[in-house]
Amino acid sequence: MTRVIEQLHEPVLVVGGYGYRNIGDEAILAGLLTRLGPRTVTVISRNPAETTRLHGVPAIGIGAAGPALLRHRSLVIGGGGLFGRDMGSIGRLLPLFGLAAMALGRSVMVEGVDIDANLAPSARALLPRLLRHATHVTVRDRRSVAILEGWEVDASLAPDLSQWMPMPSADVGRQLLRTAGVDTGRPVVGLALAGIQPALADAALAAVASTMDALPDTQFCFIPMSRHPRVPAHDDLRLGHRLRAMQPRLAVVEGECHPGAVLSAFGLLSVVVSMRYHGMLFAERASVPLVPLVYAEKNVRWLDERDLLAIPAAVEPVLAALRSALARDRRVVVSTPVAS
């Protein structure tokens, strides 16, 4: 990708799932901006002000995307499952937007995506054409490479773009956890759960609640990886509040978070229970034991490529996995004698 980036004509327009308060997508953007370096870049975002505040880059709303193509010489479509059915209108419109950029003579790069064979009809009709004519295409898993080979698309395998996001110091993550009420000197279990599949979410909440009863001296902290402003199933904080109603001692991370701060916080955890894709990636990058609960094909692919197995969302397997991980944590609370 480095050589291709050097050939990008400025200014560069960047589009993806940004501005939806999803930590994974914001980590993808942070990594992509790091890769693009000191170029003139504008990001298309659902919430331009928030994107500018988080990433320090000019941003425009989705309604201004069409006219922006006239002012930019390159387009980068960046990261994740952008073309999947669960992306709604974004997944349907992005291929058309990319083809429109090509019709205007713009160079188009598609970076760090994954491809689902079961696409919406409109995406299935347009996406192969877009990818065949793109300047550069990278995907983040081997299954996507195989699907694109069947479409006669030349694509390279590359890490998720979030891997390029710098990790802040541990102090950043420590402050985030302490604000949530976590004592970072003691072992803590991080929870990155999602409510996209209600039955699975209910089972996961019940399993974690019972596990908390079985581990009364262990801290648990819910870290919402998605805070979608309009789709309740993608607002993980709702799930965190449900769990806290069941277990009042649960700590919950609230408020706006930079993805780098969340990554830093993961590095201070003893173990992570994650349904979210980037919760799994963050745990791996921070070298923290992972208890993976699967809700989507992308999770299955990620685990398969690492020869890992998902844990059933039930009390016994979750508790056993947590106890095994916590047994390897050597942090203890040291009491300081009070001078008489």
End-to-end CA distance of the chain: 64
Give, for 4, the enclosing helix (H) or strand (E). Answer: helix 2-6
Instruction: Please give the pLDDT value at position 198.
Output: 95
95 phi/psi in degrees, rounded to 5: -60, -40
CATH 1.10.569.10 applies to domain 2-164: no
**Residues facing 59 on adjacent strands:** 43
DSSP state of 158: -
What is the sign of the dihedral through the CA atoms of 246, 248, 251 and 253?
Answer: positive
**Residues facing 76 on adjacent strands:** 14, 109
Amino acid letter at 26?
E
Q: Do domains 2-164 and 170-326 have the same CATH topology?
A: yes
Calculate helix-pair angle for 23-36, 48-55, nearest 10 degrees. 60
92 phi/psi in degrees, rounded to 5: -80, -35
pLDDT per residue, tens digit, the chain (340 aa), is 666 666 788 999 999 999 999 999 999 999 999 999 989 999 999 999 999 999 999 999 999 999 999 999 999 999 898 887 666 677 778 999 999 999 999 999 999 999 988 777 777 889 999 999 999 999 999 999 999 999 999 999 999 999 999 999 999 999 999 999 999 999 999 999 999 999 999 999 999 999 999 999 999 999 999 999 989 999 999 999 999 999 999 999 998 899 999 999 999 999 999 999 999 999 999 999 999 999 999 999 999 999 999 999 999 999 999 999 999 875 544 333 334 3
Instruction: Please give the pLDDT value at position 121.
Output: 78
Instruction: Please give the pLDDT value at position 308.
Output: 95
Assign 3-class secondary structure to 170-181. Answer: HHHHHHHHHHCC
Using the CB atoms, write b or e for 228-266: b if 16+ within 10 Å. beeeebbbbbbbbebbeeebeebbbbeeebbbbbbbbbb
CA–CA dist 282, 176 (Å, integer): 15
CA–CA dist 253, 236 (Å, integer): 11
Instruction: Please give the pLDDT value at position 337.
Output: 37
- The structural domains of the chain, with segments of one domain joined by +, span 2-164, 170-326
> Topology of domain 170-326, per CATH?
Rossmann fold (3.40.50)
CA–CA dist 31, 278 (Å, integer): 13
CA–CA dist 289, 311 (Å, integer): 13
- pTM for this model (two decimals): 0.93
Nearest Cα residue to 72 out of 90, 60, 55: 60
Nearest Cα residue to 161 out of 23, 31, 299, 22: 31
Amino acid letter at 89?
S
DSSP state of 235: B
CA–CA dist 137, 132 (Å, integer): 9
CA–CA dist 287, 269 (Å, integer): 10
DSSP state of 276: S
Nearest Cα residue to 180 out of 257, 287, 285: 257
Instruction: Please give the pLDDT value at position 1.
Output: 60
Instruction: Please give the pLDDT value at position 82.
Output: 87
Instruction: Please give the pLDDT value at position 84.
Output: 77
Instruction: Please give the pLDDT value at position 333.
Output: 40
CA–CA dist 64, 71 (Å, integer): 11
214 phi/psi in degrees, rounded to 5: -80, -20
